[in-house]
Amino acid sequence: MKLLLIYPNWLGRSGDYCHVAAKQLGHESSLMWGSDHEVLTIAGFLKDKARRLPFIASTYRKLEAFILNKRIIEKVRLYSPDIVINNCPSLFSETIQEIKANSQCLVFWAGDNPELYPSLINTLHIYDYFFAGAPDWISDEIQFLLKNRAYYLPYGCSVDVFNKSTLPADSSKRYGAPLSFVGARYSDREIMLSKLLDFELAIWGWKRDNVLRRVYQFVRGRQRNPIDDRYGIGSYTYTPKLNSAIRGSYTNNITANMIYNASSIVLNLQHPQMITAVNSKTFEIAASGAFQLFYHTGDMLGLYDKDTEIVCFDTIDDLRDKIRFYLKYPDERRTIADRAYRRTLSEHTFAHRLRKMFDVIGG
């Protein structure tokens, strides 16, 4: 089959992983970025800043959206794919109609709660199938719009990127810590991590607090983000006492894998929209062979066995007790991490997810 994948260009790189998995399954695949959030290059950094400054952000984003949608239409007309998998919630209605007219099957695979994006809800009826990264995102309205063709399908991991690695001594020292966290900075995470500084905590993915950053935040103003607004997590304070724990800002997944391999315990702090589901990081940490403590309040949805494959916590006191226990008993850590590792490789790669998707749609 010919697949066209449309993904946002962000640090998670799930578009890359689906693209590789599709080829591994013997399909022809083409990947397009439906939005551009690459920040690890100079050009990407400048684009990112342009989107955020209030006096140019609106005009810049409209121009960027117009160019991206135009490119997608040109691509789908030329490529004529059998299946299109879209992960961008803000494509124009005209673009989605054009994709539909030039393909055999149009799929949306949601990595965020679709209710956060009115433009997506307004165009879901155009799609043939909808797959959600969390089961509670599939509302009665969505099932009605999709004529009962909405399904739960979590993301997975790429074992080409996340895997067990033997690091040189200098890399182990650089990336290792008794307790590590890799992820975006949100106010709820600041509160939790500020209570763990006595455990030699290492934080990756954050910028240190300083006067220049405070001035920039003041000039930029409050950023409107539907996810942050919905869950109340966007008003980070840049707590100075966390500076000592911050090891690096932008962290790609190659580096993240080294961090996981070099750390005794990896914290997996769920985003509030995923608190009853299982996020991609769960699979990625497990695929690296690392032991994780997972902030999770629901069951594991049949993906892992709770506490024997993935150890969960739901309060800061529970977390602190488990950190102390598992730092003291490394053999127990390794046994649990190894079970999660084997389960992940046998059930939770992106190739597994695409097979499941194609079974559902008959591809």
Q: Is the pLDDT of residue 178 over 70?
A: yes
pLDDT band at 30 (very low <50, low <70, confident <90, very high): very high
The amino acid at residue 302 is G
The two tokens of residue 257 are: 């894998």
* Residue 209: Cβ-neighbour burial (10 angstroms; 0-12, 13-18, 19+): middle
- Write out pLDDT tens, residues 316-350: 999 999 999 999 999 999 999 999 999 999 999 99
Higher pLDDT, 112 or 35: 112
CA angle centred on 190, ends 218 and 170, rounded to 5°: 105
- Tell me if 167 sits within 8 A of 145, measured CB to CB: no
Gap between the Cα atoms of 156 and 258, Å rounded: 19
- Write out pLDDT tens, residues 48-72: 666 666 667 677 778 888 888 999 9
- Write out pLDDT tens, residues 159-174: 999 999 999 999 999 9
Q: Is the pLDDT of residue 143 over 70?
A: yes
Q: Does domain 169-347 have CATH number 3.40.50.2000?
A: yes
Residue 279 Cα distances to 204, 349, 357, angstroms: 18, 13, 18
Sheet of 2-9, strands arranged across: 28-36, 2-9, 83-86, 105-110, 129-132, 150-152
Task: Quote the pLDDT of residue 352.
Answer: 98
Q: Is the pLDDT of residue 272 over 70?
A: yes
Burial call 137-154: b when 16+ CB within 10 Å, e when fewer = bbeeebeebbeebbbebb
DSSP conformation letters of 141-169: HHHHHTTS-EEE----B-TTTS------H
Please give the model's pTM, rounded to 2 decimal places.
Answer: 0.91
Task: Quote the pLDDT of residue 344.
Answer: 98
Q: Is the pLDDT of residue 81 over 70?
A: yes
What 3-state DSSP class applies to 137?
helix
pLDDT band at 212 (very low <50, low <70, confident <90, very high): confident
Q: What is the mean pLDDT of the chain?
A: 89
User: Is the fold of 2-156+349-361 the same as that of 169-347?
Assistant: yes
Query: Taking the domains of the chain in order of start, what are their residue ranges?
Result: 2-156+349-361, 169-347
Any idea which architecture 2-156+349-361 has in CATH?
3-Layer(aba) Sandwich (3.40)
Higher pLDDT, 284 or 66: 284
The two tokens of residue 343 are: 């389960």
Q: Is the pLDDT of residue 47 over 90?
A: no
Task: Quote the pLDDT of residue 231.
Answer: 66
Higher pLDDT, 274 or 133: 133
- Tell me if 117 sits within 8 A of 92, measured CB to CB: no
The count of other CB atoms within 10 Å of the CB of residue 219 is 11
Dihedral pair phi/psi, residue 249, rounded to 5°? -90, -105
Provide mean pLDDT across the span 209-224: 66
Beta bridge partners of 35: 8
The two tokens of residue 220 are: 């930029």
Q: Is the pLDDT of residue 37 over 60?
A: no
The two tokens of residue 325 are: 């226990």
Task: Quote the pLDDT of residue 340.
Answer: 98
Task: Quote the pLDDT of residue 297.
Answer: 80
Task: Quote the pLDDT of residue 226.
Answer: 63
Dihedral pair phi/psi, residue 292, rounded to 5°? -125, 150
Dihedral sign, Cα of residue 89, residue 226, residue 224, residue 298: negative
